[in-house]
A and B are shown apart, each in its own frame.
Chain A
Amino acid sequence: AQSVTQPDARVTVSEGASLQLRCKYSSSVTPYLFWYVQYPRQGLQLLLKYYSGDPVVQGVNGFEAEFSKSNSSFHLRKASVHWSDSAVYFCAVSMGTNAYKVIFGKGTHLHVLP
């Protein structure tokens, strides 16, 4: 069965600092990989996704993620965070299109100090 692990429940960084949020997945084949963000009292917004091609994918608001097949990882990065990036970030996988469900990690709560 597929699973997603986000080892850091909470990350605190200062505004302007760089950021990496870690994600590892378990799957017998390379799944579709996603990062979603959830702001307080809101739903999930897609930041970026990956299935194949260049292992570094660009997303919205300056976020990028790097896929590593050897490490089964899909870490999220940002060069310089803003206080408005404070939110919960979820790494997720899906085994396919159409009816395949999404499996989420338990999220990393990012707190950006102004």
Chain B
Amino acid sequence: NSKVIQTPRYLVKGQGQKAKMRCIPEKGHPVVFWYQQNKNNEFKFLINFQNQEVLQQIDMTEKRFSAECPSNSPCSLEIQSSEAGDSALYLCASRDWGQDTQYFGPGTRLLVL
């Protein structure tokens, strides 16, 4: 069973508001991923980190989304100005270096009104 922790489980924001969610990866896992799962079960990769360094991110992430994984603190994903289309389940996953399996947290369900 996964030990990835995500908070909060639910987040409700108005359009234009900031939305911030956090993730604690499994202990010892240096690689962290963020995905967006929409209501049609389509997954979109957003960003990944190795320790504190960004490895890959998509264009959408670069504009309104920001993320970080500071040392000795939870990782976070923040949407600067929420839009209705951002309503989705945001999943954090972690992976040990050299391993093939990503382990997922329960997700943060964001609703933008």
- Chain A contact residues, CB within 8 Å of chain B: 32, 34, 36, 42-46, 49, 51, 88, 90, 94, 96-99, 101-104, 106-107
- Chain B contact residues, CB within 8 Å of chain A: 1-2, 4, 6, 31, 33, 35, 40-43, 45, 48, 50, 55-56, 91, 93, 95, 97-107
Q: Say yes or no: B102 contacts A43, CB within 8 Å.
A: no
Select one of A32, A45, A96, A104 contacting B1, CB under 8 A: A45
* Among A42, A49, A90, A98, residue most surrounded by chain B Cβ atoms (within 10 Å): A98
Select one of A36, A96, A99 contacting B56, CB under 8 A: A99
Q: How distant is B92 from chain A, measured CB to nearest CB, in Å?
A: 9
Q: Say yes or no: B99 contacts A97, CB within 8 Å.
A: yes
Q: Say yes or no: A46 contacts B101, CB within 8 Å.
A: yes
Report the Cα distance A104→B101, complex, angstroms: 13
Report the Cα distance A106→B40, complex, angstroms: 7
For the complex of A and B, list the 3 residue pairs with the smallest distance between their C-beta atoms, beginning with the closest.
Answer: A43-B106, A44-B104, A104-B43
Q: Say yes or no: A99 contacts B48, CB within 8 Å.
A: yes
Report the Cα distance A39→B103, complex, angstroms: 15
Report the Cα distance A102→B44, complex, angstroms: 10
**Given the interface contacts A97-B95, A98-B31, A98-B95, does A43 sit within 8 Å of B107 by beta carbon?**
yes
19 A-B contact pairs sorted by A residue (CB < 8 Å)? A36-B104, A42-B107, A43-B91, A43-B105, A45-B2, A46-B2, A46-B103, A90-B41, A94-B100, A96-B100, A98-B95, A98-B97, A99-B50, A101-B35, A101-B45, A102-B43, A102-B102, A104-B41, A104-B43
Which residues of chain A are near B2, meaning CB under 8 Å? 43, 45-46
Q: How distant is A44 from chain B, measured CB to nearest CB, in Å?
A: 4
Which residues of chain B are near A88, meaning CB under 8 Å? 41
| Nearest neighbor of B30 in chain A, beta-carbon distance | A98
Which residues of chain B are near A101, meaning CB under 8 Å? 33, 35, 45, 48, 56
Report the Cα distance A94→B31, complex, angstroms: 14
